[in-house]
Amino acid sequence: MNDTLHIATYNIHKGFSFFKRRLVIHEMRDHLRTLNADLVFLQEVQGGHKRHARRFDNWPEQPQHEFLADSIWADSAYGKNAVYDAGHHGNAILSRFPIERWDNEDISEHRFESRGLLHCEIKVPGWNETLHCVCVHLGLMAHHRSRQLRALQLNIERLVPHDAPLIVAGDFNDWAHHAHHGLARALALREVFEITKGHAARSFPAAMPVFQLDRIYVRGFNVTQARVHHGHPWARISDHAALTSTIVRI
């Protein structure tokens, strides 16, 4: 029975570099593999884009979550949030283990900023309980985030048994730490960098992180390691740093 999981969260900026100067989805796939993660929580994943497909000769034929998963992560789920004439984007979870079921809940506050909660139930070999994973990308405005955090809390209370192992990760855009003081206490979640470093990780911008936007919350696990992947080469492939953590089932 494997009680240890390696997890990552990453806002992939739709597969483009900072300021969208270069298509970097191929480099991104290579670097994601080096993280050796069992589960990867992704935000700003391009499910399809007709104009980009015509513009770039090396634009992947598959949706980005399938292209990134390739032969490394056996299963994946994609929650379509923003839909427009050329295509759509949203959140995704890549998993080495079978995803038994998944759902995506729209928590958009207005049509110009589409947001969703991607919830997956994952069967980890040897575990008696299902692992619940929620990938989030919250809004830029504080009053929108407040309502979205409430929706996240209600969603988890409705779908996840109170004693089930749980991981909630993604881009919270949480400048003021409202998620930690509200969501974490309400759901008995702990943030992995709060545990290991004493404060949330600085993850934006990737070249020299200043702002604490991305989080990994867990319930039912001990945390043995947490790391921010920034600077070279990560700053070349997204505006956010990638976060990883090693957690052990209690």
CATH number at residue 33: 3.60.10.10
**What is the per-residue pLDDT for 13?**
92
Please say if the pLDDT value at position 79 is more than 70.
yes
Lowest mean pLDDT among 51-60, 87-96, 221-230: 51-60
Instruction: Give tens-digit pLDDT for 165-220.
Output: 999 999 999 877 777 677 778 888 999 999 999 999 999 999 999 999 999 999 99
Mean pLDDT, rounded, of the chain: 90
Structure tokens at 128: 């008696």
The model carries a pTM of 0.94
Q: 124 pLDDT exceeds 70?
A: yes
Domain assignment of residue 241, given as a range = 4-249
Predicted confidence (pLDDT) per residue in 45-58, tens digit: 998 898 888 888 88
pLDDT band at 1 (very low <50, low <70, confident <90, very high): low
Q: What share of the chain has pLDDT > 70, as a percent?
A: 98
Torsion of CA 228, 233, 239, 241, to 10 degrees: -10
Give the model's pLDDT for residue 39: 98
Split into its structural domains, the chain has a count of 1
